[in-house]
Structure 1
Amino acid sequence: MTTEPQRRRASVSDVARRAQVSVGTVSNVLNRPDRVSPATRERVLAAIDDLSFVPNGSARQLRAGTITTVGAIVLDIANPFFTDVARGIEDRLARDDYTLMVASSEEDPERESRYLRLFEEHGVRGVMVVPATDRVDHLLALRERGVGVVLLDRPAPTPDLSSVAVDDVRGGELAAQHLLDQGHTRVAFLNGPHSIRQCADRLRGVEHALAAAGLDPAEHLTEITLPSLNADGGEAATRALLAREDRPTALFCVNDLAALGALRTLRREGVDVPGEVAVVGYDDVAFAAELATPLTSVRQPTHLLGERAADLLLRGRDAVAEQVVFQPELVVRASSAGDRA
């Protein structure tokens, strides 16, 4: 089977040749049509239509100094948490007629760097980034090259860098304290790698709550690192926990996707929730309240996170850096509240 060669994208010069006018006349038709006679304008528009010409908006913005595209890199756009954050970004940008490009790093620093390079080559005004690791030196270097940077879902490690985040230490405390209040003293934390700031902070919160209750985390907390921060990872970790003789009576999951996987496994194995095992998630995404056993979760203001990050970015590189930290709240539902067997 043969494939047809890809058609070359028509240029301004192609349009000018087809319409038998200068490149400058084509530019005027696109940007200042009142300067061109009706007959010439119609001829140029016909050529544009014939050639399916699409103006290079990025180049035009760069020449005019009015770049209206920004980028965002999240850990996993398939995660409803990041989808909601991206919607908040988009809604804020739309008010000023900006365009958003979104990419997923998949928790891979090299993939993150590739997207940052592509965004920079595209000439974006700035980027909002959920870093895949605790390093930000490459983001500081990007800012020095003239690209605005806002850390998303992570506090800035330096006061001259803007950021929008949630107090995840407090979030971990809220989840663990709730489980302790329900009488659980053997808690498992289905966590991600500590190189991800959110994972490390939520663990610190759990440990703080246990210590405040007089319980040694080394004895009362089991941490399992998920193979992936999604439902499949939650399923794999829960299967491993159920195989233990001293299996915990409560699971705190680093996000709601992992909690979804945990609930699926527990239901499949005939384990009563919350009678035998309580489950708490994190993020309070839209599906959390709609599950067969509604999920207790630590709620983050996802839409507001995105809106505020975009707002900080649009202020420009010369604005005073600002670090915004939102407080989470615990939403208690049937997966953790009720009589224990």
Structure 2
Amino acid sequence: MFSFFRRKPKEEAPAVVAPEVAPAPVAPETPVQPLPNVSPAPAVTTAAVAPAVEEAEITPAPAPAPEQKKSWLSRLKAGLAKTSSSLTTLFVGARIDDDLYDELEAALLTADAGVEATLFLLDALKKKVKEEKLTEAEQVKAALKTLLIDLLTPLQKPLILGKHQPMVMMIAGVNGAGKTTTIGKLAKHMQMHHQSVVLAAGDTFRAAAREQLAIWGERNGVTVIAQESGDPAAVAFDAVASAKARQTNVVMIDTAGRLPTQLHLMEELKKIRRVLGKAMDTAPHEVLLVIDGNTGQNALAQVKAFDDALQLTGLVITKLDGTAKGGVLAAIAKTRPVPVYFIGVGEQIEDLQPFNAQEFVDALLN
């Protein structure tokens, strides 16, 4: 598995003791305040949560074998093949003239790069061609690669572990984006970096969501906090309280999928965020939005809406193995540059990997 987490020294948090175990001292400066009108939720326990580990024990996952890395890159390239073909064929035997720029503009727009990013790239490319006196089509293609890498590199950011105890992650996204599956994959990644995990089934809106998350919990051997029905914010609060009592490293909270136009449901997400702040002063530490890579410019609209509502800290782009065009990352970088932590190209655990701008552009413009 790829090593993609960057660690900072952990700040030790005082242990918070669950009611059913013997009392332990709690530091007076960080009391756990109960949330009014929130009743405890029964935990659906699939396995015992591992005790918190010392900082010295948290070591990077082994570097991927060359064949594993090659397999990942080949799957990424295959997922972006349609866009890659439409872009790269433009430069075969092409003359550097207005016709080439017009065709490139159309190709970028078709690839979901959006108007703003497309015009930015074209203007920068024309300037680069003139300043560097480029005369060959392959030189222009190489210049476009450089510009794309420069545009996307600010989105490349590692997810930091060990900074908070526990680290509270809120996961959002519309139905069908692969949110719950992504949570399961991320939980496995966390475990490979020696992090104990608790999952919270905060998607009480979709009937099968709780069961789906429980399956991932059982598969990964982690606890899932759930309620048969009730307030998703209460589930989130109880999950954080449980993680603090058990000294768990990471809490990941699933939320109900919804469209940004469903304003009353977006308000529910804001409530969950507020309640997490009551459960732990600094929470949530990460607010991730899971996006289906096939949704094109609609993905950009989702980023804007969820960022306005929740102040996103990162994105996960899924399903880049299908008909995804890939250009939406350029649109996001230019319009709403929220970091892209991970991209996914399939259903397997290893198919979710950290975003790397160089690798992505290489797959797009090989």
Q: Do the two structures share a fold, i.e. TM-score over 0.5?
A: no
Q: Does 1 or 2 have the higher relative contact order (CA < 8 Å, sep 6+)? A: 2
TM-score (norm. length: structure 1): 0.28
